[in-house]
């Protein structure tokens, strides 16, 4: 397949760290029947001013240069803890407040193990873009300590000349937070997380919040969704993992500043890899799913957060996909129909990327599919955390081409451009 592989690569980086809330539920007790969190607070309040000053100075010496506005972060964290525990701040010194905040924080390297499985959508701000250029938002699966996955973002610009320029990462990353939920046990239902008001999107990380997500937010498939009334929303399906079971969930945002994380219901939502169409078709919400772990199905619903079993549309046929097939992100609307990137698993569990074309008015009809992969692990790209894998969670259209960010060996991220006409000609 004639496609242009961009020279840029993104890799795991253990130096990318954030300060995260260290959660101790208010109900958690120690061996003496005391509240663990209250005991910690009482210990700090009992310190002399000099002791508190020395302890805080030691913490700042270790961490202040590594994080964005560390003192403010500690103060904000104290305020969250104080609200839960009913602390009267009038008699607590500023240094003790910051020290209490520090005890309820920890440093986390969110991309130390891997960076992979990206998806891309048009950025909400296209102001100042010349013809042939488009600002983008890219999501990334970042894997850190404990093999826990989170969602990171990068902003950038792509052009008709197959150029890609990513906005620089800020020196400090910040975690999106839930505001006002601290001290509670992990919630079980929908939650809303907020980007720090002073942080760029490229410096924002969304970590697991709920019990269902406790071991990871995996493989966000972003889509630029146009509602029937013409309004725009950025949606993303992802897999919530708690160490024992998986659950499909939905991310919703209109500004990439606040994000609703919504568990999905229905029999198909018990599996991973649901990819939404970017608009309704014939008055229905549609998605592509893989309920049986092997084949692809067209799912229909009257709600974005409820998906039951659908109609079988694609099964493994060619040697490079005989083990199983799956989607590689939301279908992309082109003149000829819906262009669906797929992945196939072949001998030696080698992952490759192919494509299929679905009818625009009836996507259950498959008009064509590629006999050979359009992208497979090249010699220099085969080695990594999971060898012999190329995988994307979502490409986007750039005029007459597709921009395809893709994961390599579950370890790094590469980028490619492919002409839509040449892709269709392979079917």
DSSP state of 359: -
Q: How confident is the model at residue 63, as a pLDDT?
A: 87
What's the burial of 104, exposed, middle or buried (CB within 10 Å: 0-12/13-18/19+)?
buried
Q: How confident is the model at residue 411, as a pLDDT?
A: 80
Nearest to 276 by CA among 320, 236, 220, 242: 236
Question: Do residues 176 and 207 make contact, with C-beta atoms less than 8 angstroms apart?
Answer: yes
What is the rounded distance in angstroms from the CA atom of residue 216 to the CA atom of residue 143? 9
CA 9 to chain centre: 18
Nearest to 264 by CA among 235, 297, 284, 296: 235
Q: DSSP labels for 320-349?
A: GGSSEEEE-SS-EEETTEEEEEEEEE-GGG
What is the rounded distance in angstroms from the CA atom of residue 76 to the CA atom of residue 92? 15
Q: DSSP labels for 168-206?
A: PPPSS-EE-B-SS-TTSPPP-S-EEEE--TT--GGGEEE
What is the rounded distance in angstroms from the CA atom of residue 89 to the CA atom of residue 82? 8
pTM: 0.89
What is the rounded distance in angstroms from the CA atom of residue 166 to the CA atom of residue 155? 6
Q: Strand pairing partners for 287?
A: 276, 299
What is the rounded distance in angstroms from the CA atom of residue 244 to the CA atom of residue 2? 42
Tokens 């906005």 belong to which residue? 167
pLDDT per residue of the chain (427 residues) written in tens, 0 to 9: 667 788 889 988 888 888 877 776 555 556 666 788 889 999 999 999 999 999 999 999 988 877 777 888 888 889 888 988 888 878 899 999 999 999 998 888 898 889 999 999 999 999 999 999 999 999 999 999 888 999 999 999 999 999 999 998 887 788 887 754 444 456 777 999 999 887 899 999 999 989 999 999 999 999 999 999 999 999 999 999 999 999 999 999 999 999 999 999 999 999 899 999 999 999 999 999 998 999 999 999 999 999 998 999 999 999 999 999 999 999 999 999 999 999 999 999 899 999 999 999 999 999 999 999 999 977 556 656 667 789 999 999 999 999 999 999 878 899 999 999 999 999 9
User: 41-95: per-residue pLDDT in tens?
Assistant: 999 999 999 999 999 999 999 888 777 778 888 888 898 889 888 888 788 999 9
What is the rounded distance in angstroms from the CA atom of residue 394 to the CA atom of residue 371? 21
Q: How confident is the model at residue 205, as a pLDDT?
A: 94
Q: How confident is the model at residue 25, as a pLDDT?
A: 59
Angle between helices 49-63 and 70-85 (to 10 degrees): 130
Q: How confident is the model at residue 275, as a pLDDT?
A: 98
H or E segment at 54?
A: helix 49-63
What is the rounded distance in angstroms from the CA atom of residue 420 to the CA atom of residue 422? 5
Instruction: Domain ranges for the chain, please list them.
Output: 4-15+110-425, 35-106
What is the rounded distance in angstroms from the CA atom of residue 210 to the CA atom of residue 166? 31
**What are the angstrom distances between the C-alpha of 183 and each of 1, 36, 37, 72, 177?**
54, 11, 9, 19, 13
What is the rounded distance in angstroms from the CA atom of residue 114 to the CA atom of residue 168? 19
What is the rounded distance in angstroms from the CA atom of residue 120 to the CA atom of residue 30? 46
For the chain, the residue count is: 427
- As given in the structure block, the two tokens for residue 98 are 């910051």
What is the rounded distance in angstroms from the CA atom of residue 101 to the CA atom of residue 55? 12
Q: How confident is the model at residue 26, as a pLDDT?
A: 53
Nearest to 342 by CA among 310, 368, 308: 368
CATH number for the segment(s) 4-15+110-425: 2.115.10.20
What is the rounded distance in angstroms from the CA atom of residue 415 to the CA atom of residue 122? 16
What's the burial of 180, exposed, middle or buried (CB within 10 Å: 0-12/13-18/19+)?
exposed
Q: How confident is the model at residue 55, as a pLDDT?
A: 95
């Amino acid at each position: 397949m004639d496609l242009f592989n961009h020279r840029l690569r993104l890799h795991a980086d253990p130096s990318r760290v954030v300060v995260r809330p260290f959660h101790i539920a208010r109900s958690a007790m120690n061996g003496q029947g005391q509240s663990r969190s209250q005991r910690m607070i009482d210990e700090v309040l009992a310190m002399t001013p000099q002791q508190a000053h020395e302890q805080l100075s030691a913490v700042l010496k270790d961490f202040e240069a590594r994080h964005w506005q560390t003192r403010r972060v500690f103060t904000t964290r104290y305020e969250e803890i104080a609200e839960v525990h009913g602390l009267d701040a009038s008699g607590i010194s500023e240094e003790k407040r910051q020290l209490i905040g520090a005890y309820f924080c920890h440093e986390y390297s969110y991309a130390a193990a891997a960076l992979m499985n990206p998806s891309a959508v048009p950025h909400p701000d296209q102001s100042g873009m010349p013809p042939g250029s488009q600002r983008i938002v890219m999501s990334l699966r970042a894997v850190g300590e404990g093999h826990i996955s989170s969602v990171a973002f990068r902003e950038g610009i792509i052009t008709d000349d197959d150029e890609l320029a990513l906005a620089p990462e800020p020196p400090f990353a910040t975690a999106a937070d839930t505001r006002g939920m601290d001290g509670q046990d992990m919630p079980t239902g929908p939650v809303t997380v907020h980007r720090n008001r002073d942080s760029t999107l490229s410096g924002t990380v969304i970590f697991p919040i709920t019990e269902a997500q406790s071991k990871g937010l995996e493989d966000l498939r972003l889509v630029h969704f146009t509602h029937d009334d013409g309004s725009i929303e950025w949606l993303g399906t992802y897999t919530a993992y708690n160490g024992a079971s998986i659950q499909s969930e939905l991310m919703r945002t209109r500004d990439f500043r606040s994000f609703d994380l919504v568990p999905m219901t229905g029999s198909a939502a018990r599996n991973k890899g649901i990819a939404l169409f970017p608009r309704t078709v014939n008055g229905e919400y549609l998605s592509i799913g893989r309920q049986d772990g092997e084949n692809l199905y067209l799912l229909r619903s009257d709600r974005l957060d409820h998906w039951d079993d659908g109609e079988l549309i694609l099964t493994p046929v060619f040697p490079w996909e005989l083990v199983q097939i799956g989607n590689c992100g939301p279908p992309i609307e082109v003149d000829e129909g819906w262009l669906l990137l797929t992945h196939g698993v072949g001998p030696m569990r080698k992952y490759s990327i192919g494509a299929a074309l679905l009818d625009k008015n009836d996507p259950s009809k498959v008009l064509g599919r590629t006999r050979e992969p359009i992208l497979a692990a090249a010699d220099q790209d085969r080695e990594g955390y999971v060898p012999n894998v190329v995988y994307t969670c979502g490409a986007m259209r750039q005029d007459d081409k597709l921009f395809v960010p893709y994961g390599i060996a579950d370890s790094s991220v590469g980028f490619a451009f492919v002409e839509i006409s040449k892709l269709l000609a392979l079917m």
